[in-house]
Structure 1
Amino acid sequence: MNILLVEDNEIIGKSISVYLKNKGYKVERILDGEEAIDSFENSKYNLIVLDWMLPGFDGISILDHVRNISDIPVIITTAKSELDDKKEGFDTGADDFLVKPFELEELYIRIKNLLKRSNQIESVLIGNIELFLGQYKVTKNGEKINLTNKEFLILEYLVKHIGIVVSRTEIIDYIWGEESVFESDDKLDVYISNIRKKTYKHLIETIKGFGYKIEKEKNKIRN
């Protein structure tokens, strides 16, 4: 699970980041509001831990922006403890509200509960392959397949565009972003090959000279 941590306090931010990483989460820490919005729009996260008081845009402004485009779980952290403050946070779309100072274990418990609820979401059935959206989990005949993070993200991206030809450039931009285009272009072939080996050969169709596609009629989305 990939968590966006928006916290400008160095001590608090580092403590949360180290603790959550030790619990097995991927954590990207952002220090100010404007950068948080840019990062959210250009990366994939499963949950946001969002401080209220930040340089640039404050947490409520960021939350309002996020809610216009996503229902990702958001935990607000703040020293504000008045009922009106909590009401404003929840009314804007916060899923949870944690008043500072708090125990790191309490944050961890709340994150686990929110992710558990949010992950009762769609899965996509592709023949005998089932992909659980946003969960980095794929099974074959009910048995878990060990895909790397990038293999999963590539497969998930293709699944989200079922029946549509996706160009190599689109996949590379989504997965590698600012990294070297030439390096990632070579790697894409390797990842596609590995996905086919771990799932089945004809899952991903190559559209010569352009990109890849997963056929729509092979798939069924279910809750």
Structure 2
Amino acid sequence: MDHRILIVDDDKEIAGLVAIYLKNEGYETELAHDGQEALDKLAASEFHLVVLDVMMPRMDGLEACRRIREKAEIPILMLSAKAEDMDKILGLMTGADDYLVKPFHPLELTARVKSLLRRAYRYSPVSPESADGSAVLRIHGLTINKATHTAEFDGRTIKLTSTEFGILHLLAGHPGRVFSAEDIFQQVWKEKYFESNNTVMVHISKLRDKLEQETGNKLITTVWGVGYKIDV
């Protein structure tokens, strides 16, 4: 599958360098230099992932991320010169799937992009795993289909990012089992977990809110000091 990536950064030199890194990995890229231009390009053409800087004129990355999330579940990798935890949490809470602090190493950037694309597009409606129904989980009125990467409740599709779907599928596939944040990160992100990483907590919070809005039940239970679970 040929993936098209939209790179959004008002620093044209950085945007150009990111494009070079990703083109070297075989991706097709296009550039935008503020949030509004990014929204216009997303409305006019199909992209598979957005690399989105935070600090930009006219419309910053946080607002652009919110508006993208109103219409699409495309993976978003947010870039920022700010390394503080609250900045990272704010970025993830607006809908970003991952967060990378500038300056970054090209190998780290491409690894994050590959990981996001793998999570978002690794499932296919014609996956042989779905032939015997094993790809479908049903719990608390939810139907979770790994083959189509969708979750439904009462006939309605719940809008989830690829990361949120991965967490839900993991917990729902092992009802009653408690997963630590480290377990979840390593199984969903497929990367090494670092202590004081707030990424899982933020994504769990957003997933809980979406589940409660659609089902009236948060479903995911916190076992304080241990981790998270979905009860039978």
Amino acid at match of 2:76: V
Cα RMSD of the aligned pairs, angstroms, is 1.3
Identity of aligned residues (%): 42
In the alignment, what sits opposite 1:14?
16
In the alignment, what sits opposite 2:70?
68
Shift of 1:124: 5.1
Task: Map Cα deviations across residues 25-64 of structure 1 (whole Å, 9 max, x no partner).
Answer: 0000111121111111111011000000111110000000
In the alignment, what sits opposite 1:99?
101
Distance across 2 between alignment mates of 1:54 and 1:24: 27
Shift of 1:12: 0.9
In the alignment, what sits opposite 1:31?
33
Distance across 2 between alignment mates of 1:69 and 1:44: 13
Distance across 1 between alignment mates of 2:58 and 2:90: 19
Amino acid at match of 2:37: E
Shift of 1:14: 1.1
Larger Rg: 1
SS at the partner of 1:21? Answer: helix
Query: Matches of residues 37-56 of structure 1 in structure 2 within 5 Å?
Result: 37-56=39-58
Query: Matches of residues 1-223 of structure 1 in structure 2 within 5 Å?
Result: 1-123=3-125
Task: Map Cα deviations across residues 142-199 of structure 1 (whole Å, 9 max, x no partner).
Answer: xxxxxxxxxxxxxxxxxxxxxxxxxxxxxxxxxxxxxxxxxxxxxxxxxxxxxxxxxx
Amino acid at match of 2:65: L
Aligned residues: 125
Task: Map Cα deviations across residues 190-213 of structure 1 (whole Å, 9 max, x no partner).
Answer: xxxxxxxxxxxxxxxxxxxxxxxx
Shift of 1:10: 2.0
Shift of 1:6: 0.2
SS at the partner of 1:98? Answer: strand
Distance across 1 between alignment mates of 2:123 and 2:69: 18
Please list every run of at least 4 consecutive aligned residues from structure 1 whose deviation after the TM superposition is greater than 2 angstroms: 120-125
- TM-score, L = length of structure 1: 0.54
Unpaired stretches in structure 2, ≥5 consecutive residues: 128-232
- TM-score, L = length of structure 2: 0.52
Unpaired stretches in structure 1, ≥5 consecutive residues: 126-223
Amino acid at match of 1:57: M
